[in-house]
Amino acid sequence: MTRELIDSPEYGTETDALLKVLADLPVPDVDPYQALLLDREDLPDPALAGHPDPRVSLDDLTIDLPGRTLQARVYRYSMQPRPIVLWLHGGGFVGGHLRDIEYATSGIAANGNVTVVSLNYRLAPENPYPAALHDTYETLQWIREHTAELNGDGRIVIGGQSAGAALAAGTCLLARDEGTPLPDRQILCYPTLDLHPDEDWHEWYFTSDEIPATAVPLHAESVAGLPPTLVLAAGRDSLRPDALAYAGRLTQAGIPTRLVEYADTMHAFLNFPAALSAGRHAVELIGADLRATFSAPRA
């Protein structure tokens, strides 16, 4: 395993300042579910979330799957055939939207010279596990079937942030177990990979005591056969142990793994690139990682 620590004097100061801003936001006096619905309607603040990279084109996409239709957005840096990255937003499986992370998704497209498909998967509690996992897995298959329409070159990466990273990791496990083609690489940014029963989202997302490893990848009996992996961790993140433990398991299984930890920054730092320089750095790092991954001609 390649393990890197990225630190900068401003990371801690910026994180402290952002946490104060977030703590001072008003809390609606409504029940938890109504608060969740209100939170879903909030548009990202450009002063925190930044803006899409002007170097890329943006196109909305409708993905028709059995019994449902999902919305996605495509970020293209080039109209030439390029690798496709399926990207999943975070939000504890109950919130989040592709519009929250457009700095990251557009920046990954531009810096990585790839095409990014950012997916709005179904959310709990209206659609508990395994709805989001099935959306992700079937969208991966959909992308393979529509590669030419997306100007893809046949190479595919899957990645995401927090809950989205869990969906990416679970999809790779499911693809391996189902015998369907695996992505060429998985990118897991501060992933939630264990049960975390004390988290608010847990009881909304899991409605049964039967929780397979595709939902909590750290519980997988084996991680052999998974694709090469980039894992990002945050030094001030309660989910940091998940990232470190999974990177360790992948390495022990012989999976080429790169672990990058951003010191003294917070969970979800990719959502706040205008306020956190660690988020801006990470977008550039993921892009450089993708360029390096696909620099060699395809075998």
What positions carry a catalytic annotation? Answer: 162, 237, 267
| Cα–Cα distance measured from residue 290 to residue 285, given in angstroms and rounded to the nearest whole number | 9
DSSP code for 43: P
| Cα–Cα distance measured from residue 234 to residue 270, given in angstroms and rounded to the nearest whole number | 10
Tell me whether strands 2-6 and 257-266 are parallel, antiparallel or unpaired.
Answer: parallel
DSSP code for 28: -
SS3 199: coil
β-sheet bridge partners, residue 87: 118, 159
Are 106 and 118 in contact by the 8 Å Cβ rule? The answer is: no
Are 118 and 111 in contact by the 8 Å Cβ rule? The answer is: no
Q: How far is CA 125 from CA 33, 36, 78, in A?
A: 9, 10, 38
| Closest C-alpha among 97, 121, 108 to residue 40 | 97
Are 233 and 165 in contact by the 8 Å Cβ rule? The answer is: no
Are 151 and 82 in contact by the 8 Å Cβ rule? The answer is: yes
| Cα–Cα distance measured from residue 112 to residue 143, given in angstroms and rounded to the nearest whole number | 19
Place of tokens 């595919």: 156
